[in-house]
């Protein structure tokens, strides 16, 4: 009988276990034996340490979950490790035996083996405490990379400390070199934190790789508008969206309803996207978004003429009346009539104009407005306006205009940074402006990396949680926000509004958009 055969099978296994004192085998056999009636007398048992046929809620079910998790991690992450490993030059092969070397020729189906499961976990969790820095030190982006790398190295009092905890890779401003250096940092140097993304391309690549490799990454470039952000990517650069919100909030507080935006083509698009998005949410009427060739000011003049309807065909009757009037004036004065000098007066189509460009363009913009006899109108701008040349010579048209920046006084910089001021604490030399931005971002990134590196969690992926909860230093006069990163994992930088007079600027409060109607303190 089947029942009799079932108990005979158990008794046989029990005697073998007693003789060999293999109690674990006895327990396993018992669990298998109770299923013998459903398996049939011809069933064969395969010794698989990962997958068995236990009911839900048992150790077998837990093993099934481990199998599925391993297969998911393999397809979503380990397969990308394998792709990145192919970029590693032959002379850069890892010297130490790492968990990944057991996986470089494996597939997701191999997750049935416990050794593969352990290797997958080890690859994704191994934490060395090393910081990998990736920057272009050669090629067209060399200046950016060199300033950034110097900011990183000089953060340490002794350069040897950086060499102990950090590794610097040169992407050479080239896509292939970037991936080769990234592969070296991951497989040879086995870093736990990555810092990079000086250029837009490298920032985009690091955002993608950080998610696939599950390595916490500090990215220097601002995220693109509506970009899908990696859960392992943290953005260090001042947030373009936050500055756009500050400017939009000022517009809202001033009750401006009609807005025009001018920006150079192929530049500043991210800021304009964020600004446009916020203004639309505030239900502002964006009358015109004009882009122009920064090397051809005639395209800028054309956009301004269109905005104020100087050459609008629908105003042909008004133009005809003006021509007749000028003819009569010429006859009365006894001078020849010249129709070329006739121009319609501008129509007041907007309450304010936002110019997302540098101070040179702003000065030329004002000259065009004055030539077209446009009544004085508030102009708004970005940190590119910030230069003493904006007020030299003094320009009455600037009075009441505003621009936004993430630096207030150059005398109150973080990380012991010092710059030479020019005419006031709010201006520095053009040569120092670009370098200062990179030094600020570089020092901020390495300071954050050092703080989380020393936390040393057992699992490298837990660094992501530490970064999300990281708070600013208590005695920091620059970063006023309580958390280093916001909910989008973008760094919380301060924002300042500067109100302008014809000969200088009026610094306003930090995050001043909400206080935009308060009277600022003048400074020249």
For 243-292, the pLDDT digits (tens) are: 999 999 999 999 999 999 999 987 778 889 999 999 999 999 999 999 99
Q: Which residues contact 364 (CB under 8 A, 6 or more apart)?
A: 297, 300
Q: 456 falls in which pLDDT band (50, 70, 90)? A: confident
Model confidence band, residue 458 (pLDDT cutoffs 50, 70, 90): confident
User: 0.85 exceeded by the pTM?
Assistant: no
Q: What is the pLDDT of residue 43?
A: 33
Instruction: At 250, list the tokens.
Output: 């000022």
The enclosing H or E element of 355 equals strand 352-355
**Cβ neighbours around 285 below 10 Å, total:** 14
Give pLDDT tens digits for 400-424.
999 999 998 999 899 889 999 988 8
Rounded-to-integer distance, Cα 53 and Cα 61, Å: 8
Structure tokens belonging to residue 240: 């373009």
For the chain, give the number of residues.
Answer: 524
User: Which pLDDT belongs to residue 11?
Assistant: 53
CA 200 to CA 182: how far, in whole Å?
A: 16
Mapped onto helix, strand or coil, the DSSP state of residue 296 is coil
Residue 317: pLDDT over 50: yes
Q: Among 10-24, 93-107, 177-191, 235-249, which stretch is predicted with the lowest mean pLDDT?
A: 10-24
Pair of tokens at residue 154: 């000089």
**pLDDT tens string 487-521:** 999 999 988 999 998 888 878 755 443 333 333 33
Please tell me the predicted confidence (pLDDT) of residue 226.
Answer: 76
Residue 33: predicted pLDDT: 40
Domain ranges of the chain: 2-45, 61-125, 241-310+348-405+495-515, 319-345
3-state SS, residue 258: strand
Task: Output the pLDDT for position 404.
Answer: 94
CATH no. of 241-310+348-405+495-515: 3.40.50.2300
Lowest mean pLDDT among 182-186, 358-362, 458-462, 518-522: 518-522
Task: Return the number of other C-beta atoms located less than 10 Å from residue 7's C-beta.
Answer: 11
Q: 373: buried, middle or exposed (CB in 10 Å: 19+, 13-18, 0-12)?
A: exposed
Question: DSSP string of 430-484?
Answer: HHHHHHHHHHHHHHHHHHHHHHHHTT--SSGGGHHHHHHH-B--TT-SS--SSBS
The stretch 444-451 carries a mean pLDDT of: 94
């Amino acid at each position: 009988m089947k029942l009799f055969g079932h108990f005979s099978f158990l008794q046989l296994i029990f005697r073998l276990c007693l003789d060999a004192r293999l109690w674990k085998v006895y327990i396993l056999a018992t669990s298998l034996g109770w299923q013998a009636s459903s398996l049939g007398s011809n069933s064969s048992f395969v010794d698989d340490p990962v997958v068995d046929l236990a009911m839900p809620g048992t150790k077998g079910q837990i093993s099934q979950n481990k199998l599925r998790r391993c297969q998911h991690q393999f397809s979503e992450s380990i397969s990308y490790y394998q792709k990145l490993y192919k970029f590693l030059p032959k002379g850069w092969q890892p010297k130490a035996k790492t968990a990944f070397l057991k996986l470089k020729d494996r597939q997701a189906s191999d997750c049935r083996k416990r050794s593969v499961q352990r290797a997958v976990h080890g690859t994704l969790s191994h934490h060395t405490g090393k910081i990998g820095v990736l920057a272009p030190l050669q090629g067209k982006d060399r200046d950016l990379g060199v300033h950034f790398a110097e900011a990183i190295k000089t953060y340490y009092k002794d350069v040897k400390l950086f060499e102990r905890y950090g590794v610097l890779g040169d992407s050479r401003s080239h896509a292939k070199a970037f991936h080769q250096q990234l592969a070296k940092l991951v497989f040879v140097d086995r870093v736990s934190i990555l810092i990079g993304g000086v250029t837009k391309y490298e920032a985009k690549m690091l955002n993608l790789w950080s998610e696939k490799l599950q390595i916490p990454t500090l990215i220097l470039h601002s995220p693109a508008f509506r970009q899908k952000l990696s859960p392992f990517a943290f953005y260090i650069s001042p947030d373009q969206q936050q500055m756009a919100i500050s400017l939009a909030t000022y517009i809202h507080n001033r009750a401006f309803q009609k807005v025009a935006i001018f920006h150079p083509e192929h530049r500043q698009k991210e800021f304009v996207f964020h600004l446009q998005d916020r203004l639309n949410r505030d239900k502002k009427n964006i009358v015109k978004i004009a882009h122009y060739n920064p090397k051809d000011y005639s395209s800028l003049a054309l956009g301004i003429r269109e905005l104020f309807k100087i050459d609008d065909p629908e105003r042909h009757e008004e133009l005809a009346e003006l021509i007749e009037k000028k003819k009569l004036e010429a006859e009365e004065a006894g001078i020849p009539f010249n129709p070329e000098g006739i121009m319609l007066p501008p129509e007041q189509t907007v309450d304010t104009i936002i110019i997302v460009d540098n101070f040179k363009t702003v000065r030329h913009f004002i000259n065009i407005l004055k030539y077209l006899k446009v009544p004085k109108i508030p102009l708004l701008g970005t940190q590119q306006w910030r230069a003493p040349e904006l007020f030299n010579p003094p320009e009455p048209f600037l009075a009441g205009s505003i621009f936004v920046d993430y630096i207030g006084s150059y005398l109150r910089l973080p990380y012991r940074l010092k710059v030479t001021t020019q005419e006031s604490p709010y201006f520095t030399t053009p040569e120092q402006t670009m370098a200062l931005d990179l030094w600020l971002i570089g020092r901020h990134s390495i300071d954050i990396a050092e703080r989380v590196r020393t936390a040393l969690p057992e699992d490298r992926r837990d660094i992501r949680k530490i970064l999300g909860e990281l708070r600013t230093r208590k005695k920091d006069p620059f970063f006023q926000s309580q958390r280093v990163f916001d909910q989008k994992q973008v760094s919380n930088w301060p924002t300042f509004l500067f109100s302008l007079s014809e000969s200088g600027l009026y610094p306003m409060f930090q995050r001043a958009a909400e206080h935009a109607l308060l009277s600022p303190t003048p400074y020249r």
